[in-house]
A and B are shown apart, each in its own frame.
Chain A
Amino acid sequence: MAQMTMIQAITDAMRIELKNDEEVLIFGEDVGKNGGVFRATEGLQKEYGEDRVFDTPLAESGIGGLAIGLALQGYRPVPEIQFFGFVFETMDAISGQMARLRYRSGGRYNAPITIRSPFGGGVKTPELHADSLEGLMAQQPGLKVVIPATPYDAKGLLLSAIRDNDPVIFLEHMKLYRSFRDEVPEEEYTVEIGKADVKREGKDISIITYGAMVHSSLKAAEELEKDGIDAEVVDLRTVSPLDIDTIIESVNKTNRAIVVQEAQKQAGVAANVVAEINDRAILSLEAPVLRVTAPDTVFPFSAAEDVWLPDYNDIVAKAKQVMNF
């Protein structure tokens, strides 16, 4: 075991897979010699050569197309989109192309591609760096969307993502990159895609969440405990497909739930979680399932992040509202 930040765990996963599988290729803007703008690919080009880890021209659509073409030649591409706000440039390559490759070829071809990309607020980035756009990806059949919240999950999920023979969008929250260290096994291990994790057990209310909001929810749970409310925090880890079993099991136990996301109310995946609970566990519910989200405006100018982003106080307030329904 070693103490690792999330970014170190991510680098470690890529190092392991570069070694395990010679078809793995890592490429993107500044991921080579520079080691990535966040040092996620630090040292990988030096260790594995320019043939395996390389820079690209500055064009996200081209990077997406490159990944598809390399997949058609049997490679296992792990491209990076520098910030997920830039995904619009390559929406066709992702949603219009790689997500559909297996289907459109009737299984003749497939796209074992893992797109890594940072996102998330709280670090005062300039425009279109921090936007939560996982909701767009979650609506596309053919993709899987993974969002880890801890170093342990990040390593295990990234290894699973790279080994998956279908495209996976792996979103890395910038605020979580170096905010804390965690015990991470040095050897390889995987965390199954599509499996949620109960980060805190409780019996009074389920807080279902993902990304940076996992930590805000854990903090909210501590606050709620002071008021005698025992909250269960479910970290989705994969936002598409959802781990229905874990969600419903938790709701059937607590009979109350809120869904917490950093994205705007009209975005993200919270509405989907609410609908699944309504479909499958309405008879268990003592109250409606409410959502904690950002307001439906464009992502804030950086100096307004503090008042805009949902925080643990919003979660505490919403949980109490549900408890007192």
Chain B
Amino acid sequence: MGTKTLKQIEEEFETFQILNEEGKIINEDAMPDLSDEQLQELMERMVYTRIWDQRAISLNRQGRLGFYAPVAGQEASMLGSQYALDKEDFILPGYRDVPQIVYHGLPLYQAFLFSRGHFQGNQVPEGVNVIAPQIIIGAQITQTAGVALGLKKRGKKNVAITYTGDGGASQGDFYEGMNFAGAYNAPAIFVVQNNRFAISVPVEKQSAAKTIAQKAVAAGIQGIQVDGMDVLAVYAATQQARERAVNDEGPTLIETLTYRYGPHTMAGDDPTRYRTEDMDNEWEKKDPIVRFRKYLESKDLWSEEKENEVVEKAKEEIKAAIKKTDEAPKQKVTDLIEIMYEKLPKNLEEQMEEYKEKESK
């Protein structure tokens, strides 16, 4: 009896897909309402982000960037979900989710400053509703419940969206955040980007649950598993979750099945220790960009020439952004003291004087 129930639950979380690996629409009914220009824009963003990832890895190797968590492979999951948002929606990203906040309005040079470890990277411009990437895995989830409740209390027709990985779904804060949002019926979207590995630990070692999406059941909220290499499916799932949320129908957990082609981070992780070449090859066949390119080409919406334009634009803009990053003033201890409190307490007033003196020499 028990086993049967478990199986029944799993069957409710079949993978939602619109575009197959050959770039063919296999689920016409679910096709989101996107104009040709929007479809092209989505493709441009994915190509741009792939180039950005390549450049970031290379800049990191040259020592011109610091902390960097590669994103190649996850473009559909990251950008398809962000594309479904309104500017007033609030994003609480994890450490890998820099592309989402850049497309939500954070200037690229600030993303690079974040990577280098400079406070100005995190000084999000007014009107851009994001917060800096969260390093403590799970903390963004409970905070999202709070932001969503805040939006609901203000009567805004907006959502809070957050991202974590498959490993993150094992944290206590993951459950607490979803459960709080559920209990308050708050407009939150929880995205779990399941790239199958938390550093070296495969998803099978995280949980006996067959899907992460079914963890929504524990919070009594909607859950959906999506092909995370299919930008149209990710967009459609996020858009529907958003609709429900702003119509006071509560939060949604979206699991995107995806893959990172690169290492976990650029801080010495070597994926060949835990992943096979066969596995990498299998997932490369699912490449979200290749698949979407085929689809757009079949509709005459994409060409090699167009793609090259995007690549060149990306390279130029990245170069300009890095230049601007280089121009940021060096941080001083007095800067760091200054941003601790609205009004400095006595101990910091004293230390401020001490470091002003030191810095004036």
Contact = CB atoms under 8 A, between A and B. Distances in A.
A106 B123 contact: yes
Given A61-B172, A65-B144, A108-B126, 8 more contacts: A57-B180, A66-B149, A70-B146, A70-B149, A72-B146, A102-B339, A104-B122, A243-B346
A72 B146 CA distance: 8
A69 B123 contact: no
Nearest to B154: A73
Given A62-B177, A65-B177, A96-B139, A165 B150 contact: no
A108 B130 CA distance: 11
Interface of B: prevailing SS: helix
A59 B177 CA distance: 10
Contacts of B126: 108
7 contacts: A57-B179, A69-B144, A71-B146, A72-B143, A93-B142, A107-B339, A244-B346
Contacts of A93: 139, 142
B336 interface: yes
Closest 9 pairs (CB-CB, A-B): A69-B146, A65-B142, A73-B150, A62-B176, A241-B345, A106-B123, A69-B147, A66-B146, A106-B119
Given A92-B139, A97-B143, A166-B342, A56 B124 contact: no
A18 B213 CA distance: 40
Nearest to B150: A73
Contacts of B123: 105-108
B341 A102 contact: yes
Interface string A63-78: 0111111111111000
A51 interface: yes
B190 to A, nearest CB: 13
Contacts of B341: 102, 142, 166
A20 to B, nearest CB: 18
A185 interface: no
Nearest to B121: A106
Contacts of B336: 103
A61 B176 contact: yes
Contacts of A107: 123, 339
Interface string A92-126: 11001100001111111110000000000000000
A281 to B, nearest CB: 15
Given A104-B122, A109-B131, A59 B180 contact: yes
Contact of A56 (B180, B345, B346): B180
A194 interface: yes
Nearest to B125: A108
B16 interface: no
Q: Indicate the size class of the contact surface on chain B.
A: 35 or more
A144 interface: yes
Interface residues of A, number: 43
A64 B339 CA distance: 22
Interface string B336-361: 10011110011110000000000000
Nearest to A110: B342
B254 interface: no
Contacts of A104: 119, 122, 132
Interface string B129-149: 001100010010111111111
A242 interface: yes
B185 interface: no
Nearest to B349: A241
A118 B122 CA distance: 35
A145 to B, nearest CB: 11
B176 A97 contact: no
Interface string B110-132: 00000000011011101000011
Given A104-B132, A106-B122, A241-B345, A69 B143 contact: yes
Nearest to B180: A62
Contacts of B342: 102, 110, 164-166
Nearest to B151: A73
Interface in B62-99: 90
Interface string A37-81: 000000000000001000011010110111111111111000000
A69 B160 contact: yes
B26 interface: no
Contacts of A74: 150
A107 to B, nearest CB: 5
B153 interface: yes
Contacts of A57: 176, 179-180, 183
B173 interface: yes
A66 B136 contact: no
Contact of A66 (B142, B154, B345, B348): B142
Contacts of A71: 146
Contacts of B179: 57, 59, 62
Contacts of A68: 142-143, 146
A157 B240 CA distance: 47
Given A61-B173, A69-B149, A105 B131 contact: yes
A211 to B, nearest CB: 20
B132 A105 contact: yes
Contact of B145 (A62, A164, A242): A62
Contacts of B176: 57, 59, 61-62, 65
Given A70-B146, A75-B153, A105 B139 contact: no
B142 A64 contact: yes
Nearest to B120: A106
A104 to B, nearest CB: 6
Contact of A65 (B145, B154, B348): B145
